Every structure is written in C-alpha cells, then in structure tokens.
Chains A and B, each alone.
Chain A
Amino acid sequence: MSYLIGLMLIVIAFLWQVTLEGFQRKVTAKVQRRVGPRWYQTFMDIFKAFSKSSISHGFIYDFGAMMTLGGTMATVVFLPFSGIVAFNGLDNFFVIIYLLAVGSLGMAMSAVGSGNPWASIGVMRALTQMVGYEVPFMIVVFGMIFGYGTSSISALVEVQAGGFLNWHLLRMPLGAIVGFISLMGMLAKKPYDTPIAPAEIASGPLVEYGGKHLGMLMLQHEFAVFIEVGLFVNLFLGGGGIVAYLIKYAAVYLFATIISAVLGRFKIEQVVYHFYKVPLALSLIQAAVVIFTGLGVEIWL
C-alpha cells in the first residue's frame, strides 16, 4: 500500500508541477508583455526530449543522470503531501534534505563525467550556491525543530492547524522571509540562476545533455521544484487539505516567478555574499527569538 501511495505521489507531482510550469511561463510572458506559450508546452517539451536520439559520454554520465532522477523521485515519496504520508514515520526533515542531496550530487557527477569545462564550472557554481542558501535555511528550520522537539514534517504541519493565525508565516515572520529567499535560491530562479546561466556558460551543467538525457534532467528539475516548494508550504504555510495545499503551492511558486521575471542575474560571489548578509542575520535573529524567548512556539496568542 505504501508503494502504491508513493507511485501516486510521483504521478501527482509530475502532472501538477509540469502544468504549473506552463502557467509559470505564461505568467513570465505576461509580465514581459508577451503572449506566452500554451499551458501544456512543458509536456510537449519533455515528451519531445524523450522522443529524440541520445548519445553517451561514458558510464558515469549515464549513471549520474539516472541517479539524479531516481534520487529526486525517491524524495518525492517521502515528502508529506497534504497529510498523505507514504512511509509512516519517515517523513523526517533530515531524510528529505539528505535524499535531495543525492539528486544534486548525481547531477554533479554526471555533468563532470561529460568532460565539458562549462559543465564543471556550472557544477562548481551550483554547489557554491547550495552552500549559500542552505546555511540560513537550516538555521531557521533547526530553530523550529528545537522549539517543538521534533523533526517530523507531519508534526510540524499539525502544530500549525486551526486557521491561518497559527501558520509559521505569522509565528516566525523573519524565518518565513529567509525561507522564501532560500527557496528562490533552491529553485534557481532569476537572481540566483547563476549555475545555469545560458549566456555566460552555455547552460552550465546541462551543456552536454541532449535528447533523452536532457528529458531526464528536465523531469528531475520538475520533481525537485515540487519538493522544494512543498517543503516551504509544509513548514511555513501549514500544509492543509489537497485543494488548499495545491492553491498554496501555486501561490508560492507564482509569487517567486513574478519576482524573478523582473530581475537580472547575480554573479556567483554576489549570490554567496547576499545569502551570508541579510538572510543569515535574519535567520540568526529568528533562531535566537525562538530558542531564548519561545515567542512563536510556546508563547502565541
């Protein structure tokens, strides 16, 4: 039964996120006063990529592409989706963060295995950016975990039940801001799309991918977005029923899109300086407030 639920979660993640990707492209187009693609354009792109031929650059290249897709799909199974948990008791924050790293490392391995210098530069930038956004995000979430004494995401969702006044968005506003900025870094949205900069380093890690391999990496990106936005919705917006969860998900994702549609791109050292200045300071203040005063955890309304 757990496996069936997991399979269902993967199908839902694919259909919902790829549809929303089409709407996201439409929203970006509207911001830039264009017409934009049809809403099902991303389905067409992914299926087209799988219908093309493909070449290999060696065993590591193929294995890494499979490892990144498999690792990310496995992570989708562990993330609570509006209260649905496939493997009970394993919906732990640390499980998700570690499994998500499997996907990133698989991609790094595969891209470096292609032998293209642009890919190495892109991977270096992606891992540097990861160091940038993970530290503030982790400090906020560790403060939350310390306050409640549990790292289970379902438990963290349950304490936010009963109206929007209980959401962590209002209980820990600084933490929510840091979480959202880190989310934009995780999604590689516009100010933080340094690792895949098409004009500078020819799309970075993706430079040697074509055909079916590129389709696999596009799928991996969709699943990774589903996990990252889902993590934000669960931790800060209180999960909710299926409809509420999907509405919150769409709101967060489209808000990030609207911000990214009007911004330029940071250089990689600007990304790290940026994350280590304001978000890190805010996350430390938030963690101190939660740990020393209990405001937002024990003391709330």
Chain B
Amino acid sequence: MAMNNDFNEINLNDGDLNDTITFWDKLKNVFRGNSLWMLHYCTGCGAVELPPTMTSRFDMERIGMGPMATPRQADVLLITGYLSVKTLRRVIYTYEQMMEPKYVVGFGSCTLNGGIYYDSYATINKLDYYLPVDLYIAGCMPRPEAVMNGFKKLMDMIKKGEATGWKKYQRHYEDYYSPNQIRSLGEVYVKDEFHE
C-alpha cells in the first residue's frame, strides 16, 4: 500500500474545462442533466442504501434516474463505500468501459479519506487519486435523502457544465491518474481474448 506522500500532487484544475460554450453544448447538457443512468456496481456498505432510493419510498425515477445493467449503457458510476485494492482494478476497468461523458460519485467518508479503514493495508484511502470524482456525498453511510440530494446536485452541476471529471481524466491520465493507479496496483495487465 503506497503512502499518501508518494503521490504526485499537481493542480488538476488548471485550464478551463467548462464545456458550456456554444448553444449545442448547452442543449446537450440539458439532456444529460435530465437523464442519468447509474451503473449498479456495489462496493462496500453503501449498496444497501440504494434499493430504498430506487423503489417506492424515495423513487429515484422521478428525477430521471434509473439503474442500468452494464457499464456501456451507464452515465454515472457510484463508489458506495470502502474500496479494496483488488476491487479498484475492476472499478478502473469499469470506468474505462463507460461512454463519455461519464461521472463518478463517491459515497461516504471511506472514499474521501479512508474513513474507519484509514490504516487498512487492503483499502485505498483517497479515491480522487485514481478516478476523477465529480461529487462526494458525506455520511457513514448517507441516508437515501442525502443520496437523492446529492444526485440533484450532480444534475445541476451537469446542466451548468461543471461536472468535467471525464475531461480531467483524459487530460491528466499520463501525468497523474495512470502513475497513481500503477503505484497502488502494480502492473496492470489486460487480457483481451476477443481481439487476439
């Protein structure tokens, strides 16, 4: 497990990533902000808060969200709780399979700084080193009300063109995300049977 001071610290927010410039960009952001499909990929303990958010009690569908079965179809990746190093590898594969624009939401304190697992050898502490997180929802774990509120906030950010994590990932992959991922995971080997 790499220590926190081994990571590069660079300014990720340099340059203007806001894409709401032309009329077409604004129109696209209206559609993207009104329809979010989330990938039902569950890590840690936050997954149990999602069924009440989706079903009759809190009804996620009324703000235009829904669960989707595969990463290709989904727009938003939820990291619901602590993330072990073994799972991080799968999460990175999953994130890179998603279609752009794509957004990442981190649930609870475990994705912020490790939470109660801050000194565990098996979990990562700060998710933002490996994937560009657009929004954190505080809590341990956040209740469905907080989850709904966070999704509304994410939709507002998308409509204003502020949720630009996917552009950050493209721009800083070489000098920030990739070295951090390799430092924690070791060498990443992708076996591609289909195209061999």
Q: Are B32 and A51 in contact (CB under 8 A)?
A: yes
Q: Are B99 and A33 in contact (CB under 8 A)?
A: no
> Does more than half of chain B's interface fall in helix, strand or loop, or is it mixed?
loop
Q: Using Cβ atoms and an 8 Å threshold, which residues of chain B touch A47?
A: 31
Given contacts A33-B56, A44-B35, contact A210 B69 (CB under 8 A): no
Q: Are B35 and A203 in contact (CB under 8 A)?
A: no
Q: Using Cβ atoms and an 8 Å threshold, which residues of chain B touch A25?
A: 61
Question: What count of chain B residues pass the 8 Å CB interface test?
Answer: 25
Q: Are B64 and A38 in contact (CB under 8 A)?
A: yes
Contact of B72 with A by CB under 8 A: yes
Contact of B34 with A by CB under 8 A: yes
Q: Are A48 and B32 in contact (CB under 8 A)?
A: yes
A41–B155 Cα distance when bound, in Å, is: 14
Given contacts A44-B35, A45-B35, A47-B31, contact A35 B62 (CB under 8 A): yes
In the assembled complex, the CB of A280 is this many whole angstroms from the nearest CB of chain B, namely 32
Question: What count of chain A residues pass the 8 Å CB interface test?
Answer: 31
Q: Are B72 and A207 in contact (CB under 8 A)?
A: yes
Q: Using Cβ atoms and an 8 Å threshold, which residues of chain A touch B49?
A: none
Looking at the complex, which one of B56, B73, B100 makes contact with A209 (CB distance below 8 Å)?
B73
Looking at the complex, which one of B31, B61, B100 makes contact with A48 (CB distance below 8 Å)?
B31
Contact of A222 with B by CB under 8 A: no
A210–B74 Cα distance when bound, in Å, is: 8
Given contacts A48-B34, A48-B35, A208-B72, contact A34 B99 (CB under 8 A): no
Q: Are B72 and A36 in contact (CB under 8 A)?
A: no
Q: Are B61 and A202 in contact (CB under 8 A)?
A: no
Contact of B128 with A by CB under 8 A: no
In the assembled complex, the CB of A284 is this many whole angstroms from the nearest CB of chain B, namely 38
Q: Are B73 and A37 in contact (CB under 8 A)?
A: no
Q: Are A52 and B61 in contact (CB under 8 A)?
A: no
Q: Using Cβ atoms and an 8 Å threshold, which residues of chain B touch A294?
A: none
Q: Are A29 and B72 in contact (CB under 8 A)?
A: no
Most A CB within 10 A of own CB, among B55, B68, B72: B72
A45–B33 Cα distance when bound, in Å, is: 10
A197, closest chain B residue (CB): B69
Q: Using Cβ atoms and an 8 Å threshold, which residues of chain A touch B194?
A: 115
A203, closest chain B residue (CB): B69
Q: Using Cβ atoms and an 8 Å threshold, which residues of chain B touch A52?
A: 32, 75, 99-101
In the assembled complex, the CB of B142 is this many whole angstroms from the nearest CB of chain A, namely 21
Looking at the complex, which one of B59, B73, B75 makes contact with A34 (CB distance below 8 Å)?
B59
Contact of B70 with A by CB under 8 A: yes
A207–B99 Cα distance when bound, in Å, is: 13
Most B CB within 10 A of own CB, among A44, A48, A115: A48
Contact of B183 with A by CB under 8 A: no
Contact of B98 with A by CB under 8 A: yes
A44–B61 Cα distance when bound, in Å, is: 13
Q: Using Cβ atoms and an 8 Å threshold, which residues of chain A touch B75?
A: 48, 52
Q: Are B31 and A51 in contact (CB under 8 A)?
A: yes
Contact of B171 with A by CB under 8 A: no
A54–B73 Cα distance when bound, in Å, is: 10
Given contacts A48-B31, A51-B28, contact A32 B56 (CB under 8 A): yes
Q: Are B69 and A207 in contact (CB under 8 A)?
A: yes
Q: Using Cβ atoms and an 8 Å threshold, which residues of chain B touch A203?
A: 68-70, 73
Q: Are B56 and A34 in contact (CB under 8 A)?
A: yes
Q: Are A36 and B62 in contact (CB under 8 A)?
A: yes
Q: Using Cβ atoms and an 8 Å threshold, which residues of chain A touch B34?
A: 41, 44, 48
Given contacts A34-B56, A52-B99, A211-B99, contact A44 B73 (CB under 8 A): no
Q: Are A44 and B70 in contact (CB under 8 A)?
A: no
Contact of A206 with B by CB under 8 A: yes
Given contacts A115-B194, A210-B73, contact A35 B31 (CB under 8 A): no
Q: Are B69 and A44 in contact (CB under 8 A)?
A: no
A45–B36 Cα distance when bound, in Å, is: 8
CB-CB contacts below 8 Å: A5-42 with B: 25, 29, 32-38, 41
Q: A207-B69, A207-B72, A210-B72 are in contact. List 17 more A-B contacts (CB 8 A).
A: A32-B55, A34-B62, A35-B61, A36-B59, A38-B64, A41-B35, A45-B37, A45-B64, A48-B35, A52-B75, A52-B101, A53-B99, A115-B194, A202-B70, A208-B72, A210-B99, A211-B99
Interface residues of A (CB under 8 A from B): 25, 29, 32-38, 41, 44-45, 47-48, 51-55, 115, 198-199, 202-203, 206-211, 214
List 10 contacting pairs A-B, 8 Å CB cutoff, sorted by A. A34-B61, A41-B61, A48-B32, A48-B35, A52-B32, A53-B99, A53-B101, A207-B69, A210-B70, A210-B98
